[in-house]
Structure formats: C-alpha cells, structure tokens
Structure 1
Amino acid sequence: MDVLINAFVGLHIVGIAALLGGFLSQMKQMSAGTARMTPGMLHGALTMLVTGVALVGLNQADGGAVNNIKIGVKLALLIVVLCLVYVKRDEEKVESAAFGAVGALTTVNIFIAVLWT
C-alpha cells in the first residue's frame, strides 16, 4: 500500500508542477496583460484533483488519520483554481487578476500541504 500511496504522491507533485510551471512561465506575459491559461495548467489542476482524492481514500483505507478540515480547505482552493482555469482556458488574453489568483491560490495550497500539521 505504501508504494501505491507514494506513486500517487509523485503524480500529485507532477500535477502541481504542471499548474505552477504554466503560471511561472508566463509571469512576464502576465505583467503585459497577454497571459493565457494553457492546456497544461488545466491538466495539472485535474491531476491534482484526481490524485488528491485518491490519496485521501488510500490513506483512510490504510488506517491513517486524515485531517478533514485541512483536506476540505485544500479541496476548496483547488476547485476555485480549477474553475478559473477551466472558464478562462479558451480566452486569448486573461486578465492579470484572474491569472495571478491561480498562481497565488496554488502557492497557498502548497504551503497548506507542507506547513499545516
């Protein structure tokens, strides 16, 4: 079971990298107002959602304790990010506030995962 959980953690990190990497690669375009939501950002957010839900289920099945409040906060942030990326995915230019919110909420989600014990 540990190997399976670790595999899903790795996939979860790949999703974070795709989402945050898409954001960070367009920081210059964001300041110019020409940033856009890339397909990789959408796929990264979806990967995070699927693997996160799987990790909660696997941890509970393994008998581990899950902090439901922490998971709920992380899920709420991820749903907001996913909605922003999904709704804005076809636009040629995304306003800086929406694009910045995706990066900020993703970063907050990372820090919640690492620091909230």
Structure 2
Amino acid sequence: MDVLIHAVVGLHIIGIAALLGGFFFQMKAMRGGEARFVPGMLHGALTMLLTGMILVGLDRAAGDPVNNVKIGLKLALLLVILVLVYVKRDEEKVPSSLFGTVGALATANIFIAVLWA
C-alpha cells in the first residue's frame, strides 16, 4: 500500500508542477498584460484534484487519520483555481491580477500541504 500511496503522491507533485510551470512560463507575459492560461495549467489542476481524492481514499483505506479541515481547505483553493482556469482558458489575455491569484493560490496550497502537520 505504501508504494501505491507514494506513486500517487508523485503524480500529485507532477500535477502541481504542471500548474506552476505554466504559471512561471507566463510570468513575463503577465507583466505586459499578455498572460493566458495554457492547457497544461488546467491539466495540472485536474491531475491534482484526481490524485488528491485518490490519496484521501488510500489514507482512509489504510486506516490513517485524515485531517478533514486541511483537506477541505486545500480542496477549496484547488476548486477556485480550477474554476478560474477553466472559465478563462480560451481567452487570449487574462488580467494580471487574476493570473497572479492563480499562482498565489497554488503556492498557498503547497505551503498548506507541507507546513500543516
């Protein structure tokens, strides 16, 4: 079971890497007001959602305690990210403030995962 959990955690990290990679790729364009949500950002967020749900299920199946408040907060942040990226995915230009919000929420999600015991 540990190997499966670690494999899913690896996929979860790949999802956040895709989301933040797309964000960092567009940072220069964000300064000029030309940033847009690339498809990899949406795919990364969806990967995070799917693997996060699998991880919660695997933890419960293994009998490990799950911090529902932490998971709920991470899910809420991810859902906001998903909605923003999905709704604005076809627009040529996204406002810098909206684009920056997605990056800040993704970063906050990482810090919640790492620092909240």
Q: Assess same fold via TM > 0.5.
A: yes
Partner SS state of residue 65, structure 2: coil
Equivalenced residue count is 117
**2:60 partner letter:** Q
CA distance in 1, matches of 2:32, 2:60: 46
Over 4 Å off, 4+ runs = none
1:29-70 deviations in whole A, cap 9, x for unaligned? 001000000000000000000000000000000010100000
CA distance in 2, matches of 1:41, 1:105: 13
Q: 1:15-34 residue pairs with structure 2 within 5 A?
A: 15-34=15-34
CA apart distance, 1:25? 1.0
1:79-113 deviations in whole A, cap 9, x for unaligned? 00000000000000000011000000000000000
CA distance in 2, matches of 1:101, 1:34: 15
Pair 1:50-2:50 in alignment: yes
Report the identity percentage.
74
TM-score (norm 1): 0.99
CA distance in 1, matches of 2:49, 2:17: 13
Q: Which residue in the other structure is 2:5 paired with? A: 5
**1:105 partner letter:** L
**2:61 partner letter:** A
Q: Which residue in the other structure is 2:96 paired with? A: 96
Pair 1:61-2:57 in alignment: no
**2:36 partner letter:** R
Partner SS state of residue 64, structure 2: coil
CA distance in 2, matches of 1:111, 1:30: 23
**1:97 partner letter:** S
**2:27 partner letter:** M
Structure 2 unpaired stretches of 5+:
none
Instruction: Provide the aligned C-alpha RMSD in A.
Output: 0.4
